[in-house]
């Protein structure tokens, strides 16, 4: 029998139409959680929810722009209305692509910051009052190893993920005495369509791309590998973990 660590718990998962968000929603539901799946991709969300229900799990979908405060508040309210509570927030929505710094304009800068950093701020702002009402309430933000060192051609993405990491740490410290945990997952490359946005171009300097590539060429983890790590952090198995940044990158940083 599979672990059932999330019986009677409710989770809100962003970026749930595909990739890590979808895998996380599926794994949470498989372990007993009721899940509100959130994304702008309605078709992808419906596929996620259908896959969960097919396996006997409980899930609902909410179209939401994480960079819009009203949209976020409405979707968090829907989770609480549908399921009566909120125990876990997972921020897996993400945006980014490789660009030379000279090519990076304000619109692209704001697009990436708005999703990766402001989006997490807004979901945490809306969810924390509900998370505080439950014992063991916690937040898991999906950052990146890009939060932990500079990467050429990824200035906006690195800035957004580094900001997310320290935002998470700040929230972890501020709410620790009130029983709320907040942690970050910092993966390397993941086998999702999103990784195509980070394929080095021919005009990039190969030597400065190579230093942040996996030690084994083309070694990328699966979305389910990251999802399992998220579930560990969100579970009572990690109840003393707070303000942590868990790296899962196949040795890239090493």
Summarised one tens digit per residue, pLDDT across range 177-227 is 999 999 999 998 877 776 676 677 677 777 776 655 666 656 678 899 999
* pLDDT at residue 97 greater than cutoff 90: no
Question: How far apart are alpha carbons 88 and 84 in whole angstroms?
Answer: 13
* Integer angstrom CA distances of residue 60 from 45, 83, 104, 155, 188: 9, 10, 37, 35, 29
Residue 172 banded pLDDT, cuts 50, 70, 90: very high
pLDDT tens, residue by residue, 149-169: 888 888 999 999 999 999 999
Active site residue 157: yes
Q: How confident is the model at residue 2 (pLDDT cuts 50, 70, 90)?
A: low
Selected catalytic residue, list 12, 153, 157, 212: 157
Quick one: pLDDT at residue 228? 97
Q: Which contiguous run of DSSP H or E holds residue 61?
A: strand 58-63
What's the pLDDT at 54? 98
| 3-state SS, residue 59 | strand
CB 83 within 8 A of CB 132: no
Residue 228 to residues 119, 140, 224, 249: CA-CA distances in angstroms? Answer: 23, 12, 6, 14
More confident of the two residues 197 and 131:
131
**H helices within 105-248, ranges in order?**
106-113, 119-131, 155-175, 206-210, 223-234
The more confidently predicted of residues 249 and 12 is 12
Domains of the chain are 10-248 (3.40.50.720)
Regarding pTM above 0.85, the answer is yes
What's the mean pLDDT when you consider all of the chain? 92
């Amino acid at each position: 029998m599979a672990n059932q660590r999330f019986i009677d718990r409710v989770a809100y998962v962003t970026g749930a139409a595909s990739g890590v968000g979808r895998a996380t929603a599926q794994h949470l539901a498989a372990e007993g959680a009721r899940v509100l799946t959130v994304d702008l991709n309605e078709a992808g969300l419906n596929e996620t929810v259908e896959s969960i229900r097919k396996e006997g799990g409980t899930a609902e979908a909410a179209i939401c722009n994480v960079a819009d405060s009203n949209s976020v508040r409405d979707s968090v309210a829907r989770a609480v209305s549908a399921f009566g509570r909120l125990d876990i927030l997972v921020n897996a929505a993400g945006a980014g692509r490789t660009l030379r710094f000279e090519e990076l304009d304000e619109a692209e800068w704001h697009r990436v910051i708005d999703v990766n950093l402001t989006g997490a701020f807004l979901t945490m702002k809306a969810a924390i009052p509900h998370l505080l009402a439950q014992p063991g309430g916690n937040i898991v933000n999906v950052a990146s190893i890009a939060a932990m060192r500079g990467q050429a051609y990824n200035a906006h993405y690195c800035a957004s993920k580094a900001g997310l990491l320290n935002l998470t740490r700040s929230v972890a410290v501020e709410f620790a005495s009130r029983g709320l945990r907040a942690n970050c997952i910092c993966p390397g490359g993941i086998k999702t369509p999103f990784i195509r946005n980070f394929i080095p171009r021919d005009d990039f300097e190969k030597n400065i791309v190579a230093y942040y590539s996996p030690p084994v060429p083309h070694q990328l983890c699966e979305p389910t590998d990251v999802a399992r790590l998220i579930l560990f952090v969100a579970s009572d198995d990690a109840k003393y973990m707070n303000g942590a940044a868990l790296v899962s990158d196949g040795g890239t940083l090493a």
